[in-house]
Structure 1
Amino acid sequence: MTAGSLTAVPAAVHADTTTSSTSSSSSTNSTTDYTVNAKAAIAIDATTGQILYAKNANTKLAIASISKIITVGVIEQEIKAGKLSWNTKVKVTKEEAKLSENTEYSNITLTAGKSYTVKELTEAAMIKSADAAAITLSRATGDSTASFVKKMQAFVKKAGVTDAKLYNQVGLTNSQMGSYGLKGVAKNAENEMTATDVAKIAQYLIKNYPSLLNITKLTSTTIDGTTVTTINKMLAGQSDAPTQVKIDGLKTGTSDKAGACFVSTGTYQGHRIITVVLHATGGGDERFTQTANLYHLIANEYTAYTVQPSVAVTVPNGKVTTTTLTTQGKITLWKKDGTLLSPSLAINSKAADKNGKLTAPVKKGQVVGELTYAGLTGLDGNMLTVDVVPTTNVDKANVFVRMGRWVKSHI
């Protein structure tokens, strides 16, 4: 099987509904073995975080240049905060220029003393995985490796990752970083995290900085008059591009310790998916073949339902005593044959009275609870949950109305 093919794919059901469950639909099964040959892998729905496949997904492994999605995430964050702009220029040092000419690493040649924009450096880091460009980029606000790594650690915590091993902005070993390495850290120290962690960070990036995909989907760009071509062979028009999944990101990674790795994102029949393959067996382009296998598994084992579940609830102390809770938009739920899609509702403690009922006042669009889907697994490893919000404002009834209700209920 080649990574560019995708056969035996069922038509996903798009059940646009306002009910809290949908009817079952069987998917087409295939006898082809789409085993994912890698030390670790995971596939999730990009919006809900529903886990569609997992293999050793909580085993911490070297991630090599996948690290650069964190580096660029920090830059995106600083642009949003007004500390940088895409047009901010960063001057290349002699050491960075020398590193950029090292053919042992992934690079584009940078000229010492020349300034490059944050956008150019980001494109170089994400499209070509240029190591020296990533180091230069990390200095955009004057950071050292040590101070930038602290920013990286803070960034991944926002994505829900608390125990990542991060030593630099590139994914090289500490010794390979030369003078940019951390003091007091082992020479062979290398960035490590789990496949689940990588998926969480990719999900956070796509949710909060979706425009990054406008860079990662590029098959080439021009920097300083030189054409830079992508190393992501699953993008449209590339050798391993799937026919029924539109890949538009995200990042490859390769090192002696990590082997061949790839975090991808793409849309399958309108549904965005994130996949992670760490340490693909055989190395090289096997990371693309194994990523294709993940998409095959999803296509052949699941049926996708597009829903906007809703549920009526009581508001005992409200001016009106009922309201409807629903998700903040349509969501995709992936179902295997035999899986029920009947969620249970729990009101958040801050929005509930002592009996667990929704308490007024509540505002339209305010997250007040969650639906839990037994049989579906979320990115935290527990049953999948989705937030729900009221469709209307509900003001609190005055004391006389509430007393009257109490008296009536006790007669």
Structure 2
Amino acid sequence: MHKVLGSFNVAAVLRRLVLTLFAVLVASVAAVSVAQANPKYAGIVIDAKTGKVLYSENADSLRYPASLTKMMTLYMVFEALEAGKISLNSKVPFSANAAKEPPSKLGVGTGRSITVEQGIMALVTRSANDVATALAESLGGSEQRFAQMMTSKARSLGMTKTTYRNAHGLPNTAQMTTARDQARLSIALRQHFPQYYGYFSTRSFRFGKQTIGNHNRLLGQVRGVDGIKTGYTRAAGYNLATSAQADGRSIVAVVLGATSGARRNAQMTNLVQRYLPAASSSRGGGNLIVKNDTSVAPAQATASLGGGNVPSLPQTGPLPTVRYSGVAQAYAASPAGNAASAALETMRPVAPSATPAVPVPQPAPAYMPDSGAAIAPAAPTQSVAAASTMPPDVDAVTTASTTPSSGWVVQIGTSPNKDLAMDLLRNAQEKGGKVLRSATPFTVAYGDGAQQIYRARFGGFDEQKDAVNACNALKKKGIGCWAAAQ
């Protein structure tokens, strides 16, 4: 009897042991299956004020950028605008090569042209491949040469694992990047070009009879999101680079290789909602860093290359701070390649020569110190939606005052957010010291709805020379600015 019971007990124990091992094996296989369900996925979230990595998964693994490529295309366009090589109204012709690019596209025929500003809007909203190629050919002389320029610029920004072969992101097995590199580029776009960054929050724009909507569905849906760019190809999966700012906190986040647009958006929404509240709320920035320009000049190119420096971010230090904010104005790190010794960049923005054909936000007209003449202000393409002014103490905001109605102003940048525009004013005031002691800081909102942007300005200059002298003094302090008639 005891032998029977003993045998029964042993058998039961063995059976339970086998079942347990089987369950563990099934769970392990299931876990591996989940982990391998989407081998393309990579993601990262970075605190844009401190450079701290808040979340990372496969952040340094090579992936295809798809249309995130157009972020670098736009960086090159903004750099050319800032350097005065082109204006928002410069014509961008379409070659047969550009016109034949597959969708998404604007559909501009061979031999026709659009303005640079229309091109910016088409890349931001529709992610138009034909426009990307046309801009590349205009700025680089050829698409291949422009891709070399893009790669050089990527290296100068510390994007050490990114290689570009075209300007649009259509499939090319050699065109690779990482989530970390795309986060760097996102920060660079936002902080280097605040006067143009507002384009990324555009929800729609009109081109001819078309109303073109933005592919980025998070705009207006997720609190704090103000851009930047979506992307998709079959090989890449669904990509999204996002900037979010709220309550004095600021992050950039990148998702690469999602299996659907809905899952990509859900993942990004989760990342923003989880990590934005965890980001730093301090006003502090990183090191003052100088940005160098290389001497490389492509044939027929109208844009200047920047580069030479490789910031050691975000692994080892703070991110570059806003160049126009007064906290910092440019990059710095060890020069790379044949770059010259570090020197502050001279910025010469050019105003539109005429009213653009599409109703989109545009920077204020600029005074060109080299020319000795002011560029006459162009009529805004959108009505002024609102204006708020501040006394010399920027923190003491008053809405009772009115925007200066005459004289000259000094504009230091634009922002899609009023609070951020005020931060630009506050930081410029702190940095500028006596240069702005008697000036009146104020913001002016242009456009309405999703296309509204805020211009950060200092008024109270009676004469053109007073505004120009103030702007030149600010530039010596590292603050980019324009002088314009009010």
What are the Cα deviations for residues 27-65 of structure 1, in whole angstroms up to 9, with x where unaligned?
A: xxxxxxxx9x87110011223222111111111111100
Structure 1 position 214 matched with structure 2 position 167? no
Aligned counterpart, 2:242:
264
State the identity as a percent.
Answer: 29
Structure 1 position 279 matched with structure 2 position 279? no
Q: CA deviation at 1:306?
A: 3.2
Higher-Rg member (1/2): 2
Q: CA deviation at 1:268?
A: 2.8
Aligned counterpart, 2:121:
123
Task: Decide which moves more: 156-165 or 123-132.
Answer: 156-165
Local SS of the residue matching 1:61: coil
Aligned counterpart, 1:90:
92
Specify whether residues 122 and 190 from structure 1 end up closer, same or farther in structure 2 by C-alpha distance, changes over 3 A only.
farther
Specify whether residues 166 and 80 from structure 1 end up closer, same or farther in structure 2 by C-alpha distance, changes over 3 A only.
same
What are the Cα deviations for residues 52-107 of structure 1, in whole angstroms up to 9, with x where unaligned?
A: 111111111111000000011011111122211111101222343333xx4xx322
Contiguous gaps of at least 5 residues in structure 2:
1-34, 288-311, 322-326, 329-430, 432-486
Aligned counterpart, 1:46:
48
Local SS of the residue matching 1:290: helix
Larger helix proportion, structure 1 or 2? 2
Specify whether residues 93 and 379 from structure 1 end up closer, same or farther in structure 2 by C-alpha distance, changes over 3 A only.
same
What are the Cα deviations for residues 114-154 of structure 1, in whole angstroms up to 9, with x where unaligned?
A: 21001111111121111011101112235211210121012
Aligned counterpart, 2:293:
none
Aligned counterpart, 2:77:
75
Aligned counterpart, 1:133:
131
When the two chains are superposed, the root-mean-square deviation of aligned CA atoms in Å is 3.2
Cα distance in 1, alignment partners of residues 148 and 317 from structure 2: 32
Moved over 6 A (4+): 385-389
Cα distance in 2, alignment partners of residues 226 and 305 from structure 1: 42
Q: CA deviation at 1:332?
A: 7.9
Q: CA deviation at 1:201?
A: 1.0
Given that 1:83 and 1:141 are in contact with CA atoms closer than 8 Å, whether structure 2 keeps it comes out as: no
What are the Cα deviations for residues 277-298 of structure 1, in whole angstroms up to 9, with x where unaligned?
A: 0001x32222111101111321
Specify whether residues 385 and 44 from structure 1 end up closer, same or farther in structure 2 by C-alpha distance, changes over 3 A only.
closer
Aligned counterpart, 1:351:
none
Given that 1:64 and 1:254 are in contact with CA atoms closer than 8 Å, whether structure 2 keeps it comes out as: yes
Task: Decide which moves more: 270-279 or 37-46.
Answer: 37-46
Specify whether residues 109 and 156 from structure 1 end up closer, same or farther in structure 2 by C-alpha distance, changes over 3 A only.
same
Map residues 190-209 of structure 1 onto 2, 5 A cutoff. Answer: 190-209=174-193
Cα distance in 2, alignment partners of residues 111 and 385 from structure 1: 42
Structure 1 position 58 matched with structure 2 position 42? no
Structure 1 position 380 matched with structure 2 position 378? no
Specify whether residues 55 and 223 from structure 1 end up closer, same or farther in structure 2 by C-alpha distance, changes over 3 A only.
same
Local SS of the residue matching 1:73: helix
- The letter for the 2-side match of 1:42 is I
TM score, norm. by length of structure 2: 0.51
Structure 1 position 251 matched with structure 2 position 229? yes
Specify whether residues 265 and 132 from structure 1 end up closer, same or farther in structure 2 by C-alpha distance, changes over 3 A only.
same
Contiguous gaps of at least 5 residues in structure 1:
1-34, 175-188, 308-329, 334-345, 347-377, 392-411
Among candidates 213, 219, 244, match of residue 235 of structure 1: 219
Map residues 10-409 of structure 1 onto 2, 5 A cutoff. Answer: 39-99=41-101, 102=102, 105-141=103-139, 143-174=141-172, 189-236=173-220, 241-242=221-222, 245-280=223-258, 282-298=259-275, 302=278, 304-307=279-282, 330-331=283-284, 379-382=313-316
Figure out how many residues of one structure are paired with residues of the other and give that number: 268
Cα distance in 2, alignment partners of residues 210 and 299 from structure 1: 20
Given that 1:305 and 1:332 are in contact with CA atoms closer than 8 Å, whether structure 2 keeps it comes out as: no
- The letter for the 2-side match of 1:137 is L
